[in-house]
Amino acid sequence: MSSNLTGIQGEYEWVDALSDFFASPSADVPPEVLEAFAVIQNHGQVLPPRLFYEVVEQSSIAISITDNQANILYVNRAFQNLTGYCSDELWGENESILSYKATPKTVYRELWSTILSGQAWNGMLVNKRKDGSRYLAEVTVAPISCDRAESHYFLGMHRDVTALHNLKNKVHNQKELIESVVDHAPMAIALLDMTGRVVLDNRAYKTLMADLGGREPAELILQSANSTISEDFETACARGYGFEHQEVRLFQGLGREARWFSCSANWIKEFDLQAESYFKPDTQNGLLLVANEITRQKREQEQARINAVQALMMEQSATLNMQETLSGAIFQMQGPLNMIEAAAEMLKRQEPGQEHLYHTLKQALDAGHQAVETLRSSIPGEVSEATGPVNINDVVRDVLNVMAERLLAEGVVVDCRPTESLPFITGQAGKLRALVKYLLDNAIDALREPGDWQREFMIMTKNNNDERIELWVQDMGPGLATELRFKAFEPFFSNWNARRGHSGMGLTMAQQIAVEYGGEVEVDTEYSNGCRVRVSIPVDGGQQ
């Protein structure tokens, strides 16, 4: 018996030990069962006959014994409970009474081929109960041979695994669904173990890694968003360090646009599946990282900010233009008024009989002064703007973005060379943008002059010992004569051949803004391939 049952799963191995009892059968055991087990050798352990019979009867495994044609000779209580048949109904019936046509014929052929060769067979069969309901049975069939060649029996054991099968399929379906959802999710998802190694990721994460040139996105995100986690996973997990909706910028490489992501990192727990953890559940921790790309939203936000900056610059530019125009007009009018006033005083002293002419001049002078006061009172006030730390690189970037359409229309190439880690300037960003724009407008106007000029200019920022910030604007136009390098800053001065549209106030206004911040604007006379203007502004904005 023991050799014939070799290969039966562990949960059925009790048959080997208990079957020894049938070496000494009693009258209480049905004769068919005694005959089926009559050839079992006794291993020296004699069990009470009633005990073995009761064990078989009360076993939770459905047990049946058939002849060599699979006609049923014995079934235990579990078999009757499972199938719905009583023992009298099954006596002499073939085991095929339980067969349901959903089981392929190849399975039955394999079953018979195995047991007829003297081996035990184990597998799955779709069975039906007396009421017609179906169930999935895990079946073990073992051949039992007697000393007489014509005596041949089969021991069958099976159990209902329908619920287990359903649960397994549900788990599988749920796993497939979750994996499909995660893999097709539009955001990058990765699960990291306690060493920081990625153990699970989705398609979007793999694509992001490829875009980053093979660099691990999780490592870059954790370094940018929360260095505490990347430095010590154990401590971060124990203290529950994580983050939600942290915006992170990842650089793809030279010449490619940086990408923005809204990232979240949360700790998750997984229960240990080992048997020894049943009474003392153990868990394994992992970090779930989710990165949702927001590059488009950031681009739209940046465009909205640039539009707002452009509107503010236009308002400030109009205000500054009006201020400088009226101030220039007052300056221009003051000269003739001074001459009229001097002439009137001379007439009064040297020509006593010319009172009528004196009064006429005096009236003209008074009218002129009144006009000057009217112009002065018409000068608009400055646009209100808070003073704070300003990064000159951000100012240059904003101005270039605002002027992008004009630069494209003019076909001008910009060589921008910002210095990293510039100290902040204390001032108003609007005025500093206006300063930069006046200089860039001047550079573009130079390239529009008649001649074969290379349509390119360079803008560069420098850090002068963390005390002053320098801004250089260099064009490749006709340049400026040495004798004009100071005159160029006078109001209404214009040296352009095409004077239309040029008020001659650009450099004047740029210099005025620089002076307000304790700085200066000068033309580099040593540069001969065009015009190079240098702006120098103290970091404190001249507020010492």
pLDDT of residue 466: 83
Q: Tokens 């169930």 correspond to what residue? A: 135
Cβ neighbours for 410, distance < 8 A, ≥ 6 positions apart: 444, 447, 448, 455
pLDDT of residue 38: 42
- Choose which CATH entry (3.40.1130, 1.10.3470, 2.40.50, 3.30.450) describes domain 185-293: 3.30.450
pLDDT of residue 27: 45
With pLDDT > 90 as the criterion, what percentage of the chain qualifies?
A: 26
Show the CA angle centred on residue 488, arms to residues 372 and 512, nearest 5°.
60
Class of domain 10-161: alpha beta
Say yes or no to pLDDT of 527 above 80: yes
| 21-25, 264-268, 270-274, 465-469: segment of lowest average pLDDT | 21-25
The pair of structure tokens assigned to 391 is 């990064």
pLDDT of residue 32: 43
Say yes or no to pLDDT of 147 above 60: no
Within the chain, how many helices (H) and strands (E) appear? 17, 17
pLDDT of residue 478: 85
Say yes or no to pLDDT of 161 above 90: yes
pLDDT of residue 345: 77
Phi, psi dihedral angles at 135 (to 5 degrees): -150, 155
DSSP single-letter state for residue 359 = H
pLDDT of residue 472: 93
Phi, psi dihedral angles at 354 (to 5 degrees): -105, 40
Cβ neighbours for 495, distance < 8 A, ≥ 6 positions apart: 480, 484, 488
The candidate with the shortest Cα–Cα distance to 392, out of 421, 368, 363, is 421
The whole-number average pLDDT for the span 509-531 is: 88
pLDDT digits (tens, 9 = 90+) for 443-489: 888 888 887 788 899 999 999 888 899 999 999 888 888 788 888 78
The pair of structure tokens assigned to 96 is 């095929």
pLDDT digits (tens, 9 = 90+) for 333-379: 888 888 887 877 777 777 666 777 778 878 888 888 888 888 888 87
Tally of CA atoms within 13 A in the half-sphere of 345 that contains its CB? 5
- CATH architecture designation of domain 388-538: 2-Layer Sandwich (3.30)
| 35-44, 126-135, 495-504: segment of lowest average pLDDT | 35-44
The whole-number average pLDDT for the span 408-437 is: 89
Q: Do domains 10-161 and 185-293 have the same CATH topology?
A: yes
**CA 358 – CA 348 distance, rounded (Å):** 6
Say yes or no to pLDDT of 2 above 50: no
The whole-number average pLDDT for the span 476-503 is: 73
Say yes or no to pLDDT of 148 above 70: no
- Measure CA of the first residue to CA of the last residue in the chain; give whole Å: 105
Tally of CA atoms within 13 A in the half-sphere of 508 that contains its CB? 17
Q: What is the pTM of this model?
A: 0.56
Confidence of residue 227 (pLDDT cuts 50, 70, 90): low
Domain chopping of the chain, boundaries? 10-161, 185-293, 299-378, 388-538
Confidence of residue 6 (pLDDT cuts 50, 70, 90): very low
The whole-number average pLDDT for the span 183-212 is: 90
Taking a C-beta distance cutoff of 8 angstroms, is the pair 467, 516 a contact? no
